[in-house]
Chain A
Amino acid sequence: MNVPSEHLLYLAAGLFAIGVLGFLIRRNVIVVLMCIELMLNAANLTFLAASRQHSTAQAANLDGPVFAIFVILVAACEAAVGLALIIALFRLKQSVEADSLSEMKG
């Protein structure tokens, strides 16, 4: 593939922006969590694009892909904890709307 690396970065920036947007405007906690996953993927894509950019025919720069692997791992952990929290809240409230986070007022 001969696509210039910056096009990959464009795509990643777009995905990241979509994730941020979703995080800020959606109320459903599960969807908010998905938006965070979207943001993580944007970061992964950037890591890979940059790795491709900084690799030469002789030596691959593998810091980026390794980071991406760790990100996938962390994403799994965060998803598990997040969903467990949602279940705990659901048991208490029978609702998963972010607006139900309203017992405390700033």
Chain B
Amino acid sequence: MNPQDLLQLFDDRALAAVAPLLALAIGIIVLLLSGVIRAFESLRAPIVVATLAFTGWLVASNFATVPGSVIDGTYIADRASSAWGLLFVVATLLAWLFSHRYYAESERPFQVEHDVLMLTTPLGMMLMAGAANLIVFFIGLEVLSIPLYALASFRRSRARSVEAGLKYFLLGAFAAAFFLYGSSLIYAATGSLQLAEIKAIGLHGPLALGGVALVMASLFFKISVFPFHLWVPDVYQGSPTPVTALMATGTKAAAFAFLINTMFMLPKSAALAVAVVALVTMALGNLGALAQTDVKRMLAYSGIAHAGTVLLVVAGTLAGDPESSGALHAALFYMGAYVFTAAGAFGLLALLERDGERFTTLEALKGLAQRRPFVAAALTIFMLSLGGMPLTGGFLGKWMVFSSLVRAGLIWPAVVGALLSVIAFGYYLRVVIALYMQPVSERDAALPSGQTSAGSAAPAAIAAAVCAVLVLVMGTLPGLFLDRLP
């Protein structure tokens, strides 16, 4: 390539494709500057919201116009990556809204840093989802991960939070090293880092397959699939709850987006192995959750189970699902429903969390329906959606995952998966029981109701309400979303 040709890489299509990324970058810089000047402190929230809204609009217009593959084929802005991008923006916005007034006074001085880091994560996620080149993906992964390491340990005065961050960091860096070594092996075998070229050349021989295994291992780590799921409970529980919401929804969705794009790397014969891994993940997640008394930790285990469920679509595709974009549709819809559901559930926990971890235990949720009926109702909706009840978004997600398996002829994994989700109801229902069917525990009865400070948490409350409504809309009028799948 000649220096003169460089400019040709940046045509209108390319600009349109990267416009959301640019918008985010500009927002980040403006936000940082606003942090420097005291007088602009009140602009912080408008900047964040405006940036995310503008980014969302740009992504949505990319969804309509489809710039396609740009910058020498390293980045793709098609309907799929734009749909994912929209999901990332929403996930970030929700997490940010839930972080409003979440932190203690002593943690406030770093609020600008917090918001900058949070605003950086969707940039990383979009790079991951749109990456058509392993380098671009890797940079995206790091742009996502490094802010998350810091965010996870953002409550520096709490040992749990810092430990969560460090644990996440060590394992995350370990996984990143796996990814790098794996892609170096793939590169050694094929001589290319472009996904399209790798696909064309094909992955044969132990060198390439070893590389694929390592890359997949690192992706499995990010989406918390067996045997790389062990970090999840500690990290989710220790992190500030809004950050947990972001990790559970955005990170996972981004990793799945890339996994769907790189499914072709896996040999067809791996279908059964992937199905087994997914089912084991579901089993471990569900059984682990069954034993928890802390709802936040329980949701962490449930997140593992959900990751296993989505992974089933990969097995379905490998086994020959006749619908070419079946896996993409299922993963998108499932994660879409999951974003609203899990973010809403974590958000409500964040809302309830005032005095330490008091409100994240099942014990503390007892009788909540009497004191805060709306919170209890919303939490019930989220629990039912996580379980996959009809009328909630979770059901159709589950439907699409299982239908991918059934179409591919993998009947028994579908049946086993269905039965495993019965176990899941064992613990989702425990939350509902605590909310509605058990009296307030005596320890909590004496404490004030907490309604007094609800006003200051209005953005978070509204966000949770919107999540609950959307979960129901996704369940009752799924056509609104299904018709727009890429």
Contact = CB atoms under 8 A, between A and B. Distances in A.
Q: Do chains A and B touch in the complex (CB under 8 A)?
A: yes
Interface of A: 9, 12, 16, 19, 23, 29, 32-33, 36, 39-40, 42-44, 46-47, 49-51, 53-54, 61, 63-64, 66-67, 70-71, 74, 77-78, 81-82, 84-86, 88-89, 91-93, 98, 100-101, 103-104, 106
B142 A50 contact: no
A42 B192 CA distance: 18
A59 B43 CA distance: 52
B203 to A, nearest CB: 14
Nearest to B133: A63
Contact of B173 (A44, A50, A82, A103): A82
B193 A67 contact: yes
Nearest to A90: B162
B169 interface: yes
Contacts of A19: 177
A39 B149 contact: no
A81 B149 contact: yes
Interface of B: 134-135, 138-139, 142, 146, 149-150, 153, 156-157, 159-160, 162-163, 165-167, 169-170, 173-174, 176-178, 180-181, 183-185, 187-188, 191-193, 230, 233-234, 237-238
Most chain A CB within a 10 A radius of its CB, from B163, B167, B234: B163
Contacts of B177: 16, 19, 36, 39-40, 43
B238 to A, nearest CB: 6
B138 A74 contact: yes
B180 A71 contact: yes
Contacts of B134: 67
Nearest to B232: A106
Q: Tell me what chain A mostly uses at the interface: helix, strand, loop, or mixed.
A: helix
A50 B180 contact: no
A101 B181 contact: no
Contacts of A93: 159
Contact of A106 (B146, B170, B233): B233
14 contacts: A39-B174, A50-B184, A53-B191, A64-B187, A67-B138, A67-B193, A78-B173, A81-B149, A82-B170, A89-B159, A92-B156, A93-B159, A103-B159, A106-B234
Given A19-B177, A53-B188, 7 more contacts: A32-B170, A39-B178, A67-B184, A74-B176, A78-B169, A89-B162, A100-B163
Contact of A70 (B135, B192, B230): B135
A85 B237 contact: no
A9 B185 CA distance: 9
Contacts of A88: 153, 156, 162, 165
A101 B167 contact: yes
B47 to A, nearest CB: 24
Nearest to B171: A23
A51 B189 CA distance: 11
A67 B184 CA distance: 9
B176 A67 contact: no
Given A16-B181, A39-B181, A29 B187 contact: no
A84 B153 CA distance: 11
B159 A70 contact: no
A91 B153 CA distance: 13
Nearest to B141: A74
Closest 10 CB pairs of A and B: A50-B188, A46-B184, A54-B191, A43-B180, A39-B177, A43-B181, A104-B234, A63-B193, A43-B184, A85-B166
B159 A92 contact: yes
Given A36-B174, A85-B165, A103-B159, A46 B142 contact: no
A103 B160 contact: yes
B146 A78 contact: yes
Given A49-B188, A103-B160, A104-B238, A89 B166 contact: yes
B197 to A, nearest CB: 10
Contacts of A16: 177, 181
A37 to B, nearest CB: 9
B180 A104 contact: no
A85 B169 contact: yes
Most chain A CB within a 10 A radius of its CB, from B142, B160, B165, B184: B184
Nearest to A43: B180
A84 to B, nearest CB: 8
Contacts of A85: 149-150, 153, 162, 165-166, 169
Contact of A74 (B142, B156, B181, B187): B142
A81 B187 contact: no
